[in-house]
Structure 1
Amino acid sequence: MPERLPYFFLSYARGGDDAYVRKFFEELCKEVRMRSGEPAGFEIGFLDTRDIGLGAPWTEELTSALQRSRTFVALCSPLYFNSEYCGKEWAVFAERVRYTSTQSGSRPPLMFPLVWMAGTAMHNSAQELQQTTEHLGLRYREDGLRNYMRLGKHRDRRLSFISALAEMIVANARTFPLQPLPGRTDIRFVQSTFAPEKGPAGSAALRHTAKHVHFVVAAASREHMRAHRTRLDYYGDTYGDWAPYRPHLSQPLGSYASAIAARRQFRAEVADIGELSDRAERARAHNQLLVLLVDAWATQLTEHGSMLAQHDADGSATAAVMIPLNRHDNESIDHWRTLDEACRMVLARSARHQDPRMFRFGVPTHDDFTSVLDEVLEHAYNRLLAEGESLRVPPDLHVDRPILDGPQSRPENETWPRDTS
């Protein structure tokens, strides 16, 4: 008896729309099940809900789902096309389609790029495939599937759209059997479909200023932080789960920063501090921005402190250093003098010489973080356009630290927390 495979793999960019994505996934699974006649308990579709896009290890389950699923449904938005990991998912499935095409002689219509957010400029790879969804109607492209999921007034259109999509998925999956790729796929080394093309080192293509930012998260997992602080609800299983503005913002900071960058039409990637050296080199070589998102508590970890100090000593191209301090995190406020001194010790060169608009200590709320990051990206990108080279710290320029509306090193007679409300 042949293996019964999932009908579709749902690819999406993790962020603030996760609840609407899950609702769409559940409704689509229900409709596909009804049309296919599959029994309860059969895996109709695959939706990964972990923060893979934030750097968590790729699981065998996800890799297997990409190899086994019969069709690929992509929820396209600016954030989606700015996601390295969504581009990797697309690349793996597209390679399966190409592999099958070499044997059958024609490309099966098994990839469905859907307009999740109205007004999304579709990547060339998606534009080539949009004809597979033409009979779903132009109206949904104008409205955006996201609005169909959010707004009750679109309920009838949503149900009609999902019904038509389910019909296409079932029919195409059964008509065009798709082969898995031979051998073992290691997604770590898969090139994202959405990554900018690379030219020879030193070429004009590399020196061109692209709107691309690397967010490097200097944070740790809950287990790593357990020995250093009491409040662990800001952490998760990996560095990518760090959400310093909980409970007011539960979204991990790396994902939140990427969404802000996407609104400004930046392609964004999020990486662990272990990739800091490589990301700094890539930013320097390709005229891109690099932003360090630093958990002040991470300076208490020997390995993290060493990597930050080495990066700082190298004078690497750092567009910004942003260090949050949730004004409701009393434990951090109580220890801020120690944390502040530790940050300034491992980032001594940047603290002394960096452009003050690019070095931001103690950002107190997620709204402030949004405003500050907007300023950082605009200022850093303008410098790149003006200078035509990656940002480098001037060797002898001393700039006093700016006064921010947030935690600072306090005078001897001053106490925290200061009322900033």
Structure 2
Amino acid sequence: MTDSTPVFFLSYARTPGPQGAEADQPAFSFFEELGEQVARLTGVPAEQAGHMDRPDTASNGWLSKLTASSVFVPLYAPRYFTDPLCGRQWTAFKRRVGPDYARAVVPVLWIPHRQGTTPPMAALDIPPHLPREGGAEEQHAQDRYAESGLFQLREMEDDDQRAYRAVLGRLAQRITRAWEDTPPRPVSIERLTDRRGLVDAFAAQPSKPTLRITVVAPTAGRLPPGRDAASYGPDTESWRPYRTARGTLTQQAFALARNLGFEPELIPFDKAYEGIVYQRSAREPVRPLAPSVLVVDAWVLSDVRVAEQLQHVVRADRPWLAVMAVLAEDDPQTRSNEARLRELLERTLSRHRHLREMPRTARGTAARGIPKADAFAWLFAELSKSCYMRYLDSIQDASPRPSADPAGSPGVRRPTSD
């Protein structure tokens, strides 16, 4: 190990103002004491055990140390979760380790939150409390730590000083175990940052726009005549039309929606039907709650009731709704019944103006039957974005446009021929 590879990185909220360094002296002292304990347990030199920024550290000097550190040690305190630098350091370490980063985080309860307040969502899954282990004296120390925080224990004397030393030792053990379980691996600064930079993990994030997804398909317990159950399950969410695709169609659609910057919401067909077709009066248009995508299995059109409902949906011609029909060519049974299924699609969706007037558009292609999984993904992306833009047009008279567009939409032009 070299001086560029500390065991742990201590993240803390600096006290603002000219007296900040003096006010933060207890944190500096704690860092030195923790480093000594970690050095003793790991066998590394004390000066290489950890890293903590000082007031004279360059603004981004911490990045190179964090890329090398195996363990992240945040000092939990109310001000910590409001400090943008701490939030950026949290984000950097999460990217540095990956999805299982929590196992390499050893938080310290420095100052407890005030009653009635909680840490932000990013920190809720990584509590600072120590497990109740050891004898009665050590358990007493852990209880005092959970009640008062380590800063107060450190400022006390006698019994509480013993409690502080016990908790300090336990934290050093946890850091050592995390270090042993997280072998250091080189990570470049470029891998930690992206075009948006390092975002504050604790800042309130803008809400994502909702995309409603409705799947209209048979279930294994209610199959059309002549259809086997291989592609179906107990509910419509289990439908898997494309044999070459991974997961169910609902899982594929949800993943695509999230990649586009939407928050997908699965809506049952009966509920979606009411929101699409019905309106309170002829003079008052239907007010959409969100852009919507309706995915239809061609096999389900053998059900006369469902086919009639879909005809009503098509006649309603809602601009914020896209109808996508699936006709999977890698399903042998679908392939052998292709002519009949296409006839059902044509009959049911014959009033879809994109089929009659603009059959080569994305909407027309989607309504005529999508043969492949990759074509489904492309059309889903195109139609989701265009439905979102049309949804904004539908509601602009009553409410302002959302400030946060889907992640994939900054370069999207207002659709004219989708």
Higher Rg of the two aligned structures: 2
- Verify same fold: TM over 0.5: no
Q: TM-score, normalised by structure 2?
A: 0.44
The two structures have a TM-score, normalised by structure 1, of: 0.44
